[in-house]
Amino acid sequence: MRLNRYFARLALLLVVISAAAGGLAMRFSASVQNARLRQPERQRADLEQIVREAQEAIVANYVLETPPDALTKSAIQGMLRALDPHSSFFDSKEFQEMRTEQHSRFYGIGVSIARRNDRVYVLCPIEGTPAARAGLRAGDAILKVNDEVATDWTTRQVLEKVRGERGEPVSVTVERLGVPKPLTFSMVRDAVPLPSIRTAFMVRPGVGYIALSGGFNTTTEDELRRAMNSLTAQGMQSLVLDLRGNPGGLLPQAVSVADMFLRRDQKIVAVRGRAGYSGDEAREFRAKNTAPFEKPMVALIDRNSASASEIVAGALQDHDRALIVGEPSFGKGLVQRVFELSFGAGLTLTTAKYYTPSGRCIQRSYTSGLLYAYYAQHASESSPKGEAAATDTGRTVYGGGGITPDVMVKPQVFTGAQGRLADATFEFARHLAAGLIPGLMSYRIERPDYQHQLRDSDFPMTDKTLAAFREFLKADRRFAALDAAVSPNADFIKHQIRQHLATAAYGTEAGFRVQLATDPQLQRAIESVPQAVELAQRAWLAAGGEPRRD
């Protein structure tokens, strides 16, 4: 009986196999294909399991206690670093700070600070901010933040402590020259402006200057339009657009800035993503402005001009719309898209490359995988030039390694002696502003006047000022050895003292204007305006325009 049951089952199995044989044969290739498709999914699941086990082993057994969230963050950052230097992960706090900066503001007390002589000092409170309203002054040495001793902190540490959520209280204790006891200022954090344009003024009769150095944020186009209108009303016949130090930012804002200077339908930039990618990273942007600013232009760039600022510089150069002066730019030709993740985190992921109107991708090489080498080396030193391209008038330009200026000018560099003197001039200016230098009480500053327009006669630097500086050095053992360096660097010393005083009296913009007075790159840009006029005329003729005189 058992044998009969066995054969019965075998017969049934054969019937089933026979009935299914045709279907199996037809579905065999599809099954193999599905298995292949599932293979990456299984590999990903296996990898996820390995990562979880590795993290659990580290948390449970590593010689030092290691928080799981720190490991997860490091793992994500390491994963992104394997791709390129600009794809980044942000935890919830960092992501919120990034979003805030894109909207041209952050929350804090509104103060410009710097570390000098082993202390962090207030350079100037920003107009209309909690610091200005509370009464913080230039030259105040920061001792504490919220009762935490800050005498050994870096500038970054102080900034991290004074920034925070809007409406939260914060206290800052300072040492003020001429006041016997420390002063404590209680403030409530509020929005602090973070504008794109640092300053705009007529640097010479007929020559306007705009420093667009604060990145491309949501307000950049509006800021630039206001500055352009103001300078035009003052008789601007040519423009120096300073993009030095501009790290980039929002692509649409870069397009809008370039659109102000290019004729309708001229290409600004092309953005191309991965082949076959279904996202929107395959676009071409063209100028739409029917009434652009057409007067001659010079654009200033340096090794810290990157990304969006290079888009603007590249478009102006390729269309021969501006003469480019300065140093080769950084060389970032990658476009990042912002992704919001769970729990308030986020990441910026490279999803495309951008190309200038002549077809250049100016991205510098990052194949070494070493972040220090990528950021520390100048673009022209680390990235070979790519294929040549031509501007509208036939001038040769190159891809790779950033935007190469038409006129190369090195920046101002301090000598070793000048670097040491810079700290001494800051301390001397503190004493001048506090009214503590005998015979020079007229330099005393009570509080900043942000509405004052800086004049050449403000804070004159005389032989008497220099003599007082010498006496100050001799009386302070930190600086006594610098006396021999005074005569060879007299002009440098006077300029530094005046810059510190202008900042303390009238704000950071006034101090920056004093700094620009001896800036070799800006001086060369102004001298290059006639070349910009010739370039603008050639570009006009190349586009089919009739000869004209501006």
499-522: pLDDT as tens digits: 999 999 999 999 999 999 999 999
Residue 313 has pLDDT above 60, yes or no: yes
CB neighbours (10 Å) of residue 281? Answer: 17
What is the structure's pLDDT at 26? 43
Q: What is the pLDDT of residue 416?
A: 93
Q: What SS3 class is residue 172?
A: strand
Residue 400, pLDDT score:
86
- Cβ neighbours for 520, distance < 8 A, ≥ 6 positions apart: 409, 410, 411, 412
Least confident of 15-29, 239-253, 334-348, 467-481: 15-29
318 is catalytic: yes
- For 419, residues 6+ apart whose C-beta sits below 8 A from its C-beta are none
Residues of each domain in the chain carrying CATH 3.90.226.10 = 197-408
Q: pLDDT confidence of 477, banded at 50, 70, 90?
A: very high
Name the DSSP letter for residue 435.
Answer: T
Looking at 104, 238, 307, 309, which residue is catalytic?
Answer: 307
Buried b (16+ CB within 10 A) or exposed e, 370-408: eeeebeebbbbebbeebeebebbeeeebbbbbbbbbbbe
* Residue 123: CA count within 13 A, CB half-sphere: 21
All residues at 6 or more sequence positions from 78 whose CB lies less than 8 Å from its CB, including other chains: none
> Is the per-residue pLDDT at 376 higher than 90?
no
% pLDDT > 70, the chain: 88
- Of 14-28, 293-307, 371-385, highest mean pLDDT: 293-307
Q: Which of 318, 320, 406, 519 is catalytic?
A: 318
Instruction: List, for residues 174-222, the tens digit of each pLDDT value.
Output: 999 999 999 999 999 999 988 999 999 999 999 999 999 999 999 999 9
Distance, CA of 56 to CA of 68 (rounded, Å): 8
Cβ atoms of 318 and 356 closer than 8 Å: yes
504: exposed, middle or buried (Cβ count in 10 Å: 0-12, 13-18, 19+)? buried
Q: Is 302 a catalytic residue?
A: no
The count of other CB atoms within 10 Å of the CB of residue 455 is 7
pLDDT in tens, 418-471: 999 999 999 999 999 999 999 999 999 999 999 999 999 999 999 999 999 999
Provide φ and ψ at 90, rounded to 5°: -130, 130
Closest CA to 325 of 512, 136, 520, 156: 520
Higher pLDDT, 414 or 368: 414
> Among 316, 332, 333, which residue's Cα sits nearest to residue 405?
316
Least confident of 8-17, 341-350, 412-421, 497-506: 8-17
Neighbours of 321 (CB within 10 A): 25
User: What residues pair up with 107 in beta bridges, in sequence order?
Assistant: 191
- Determine the Cα–Cα distance for residues 113 and 142; give it in Å rounded to an integer: 9
Question: Is 222 a known active-site residue?
Answer: no
Q: Tell me the three state secondary structure of residue 9.
A: helix
pLDDT grade for 380, boundaries at 50, 70 and 90: very low
Assign 108 to helix, strand or coil.
Answer: strand
Beta-carbon contacts of 282 under 8 Å, excluding residues fewer than 6 positions away, are 271, 272, 273, 352
Q: Which of 161, 267, 332, 494 is catalytic?
A: 332
Q: Please give the CATH architecture assigned to the domain spanning 197-408.
A: Alpha-Beta Complex (3.90)
Name the residue among 221, 215, 265 with its Cα closest to residue 100: 215
| pLDDT tens readout for residues 18-32 | 333 334 344 444 454
| pLDDT interval class at 276 (50, 70, 90) | low
pLDDT bin (cut points 50, 70, 90) of residue 67 is confident
Q: Where in the chain is the domain with CATH 2.30.42.10?
A: 105-193
Contacts of 548 (CB under 8 A, 6+ apart): 537, 540
CATH fourth-level superfamily of 105-193? PDZ domain (2.30.42.10)
Structure-model confidence comparison of residues 79 and 544, the more confident one? 79
pLDDT at 385 over 80: no
CA 372, 375, 377 angle in degrees (round to 5)?
Answer: 90
284 membership: H or E segment, kind and range:
strand 283-286
CA-CA distances (angstroms) from residue 302 to 243, 330, 404, 412? 8, 7, 9, 12
- Of the pLDDT bands very low, low, confident and very high (cuts 50, 70, 90), residue 281 is low
Kind and range of the H or E element at 356? none
Place 2 in a pLDDT band, splitting at 50, 70 and 90: very low
* Residues constituting the chain: 550
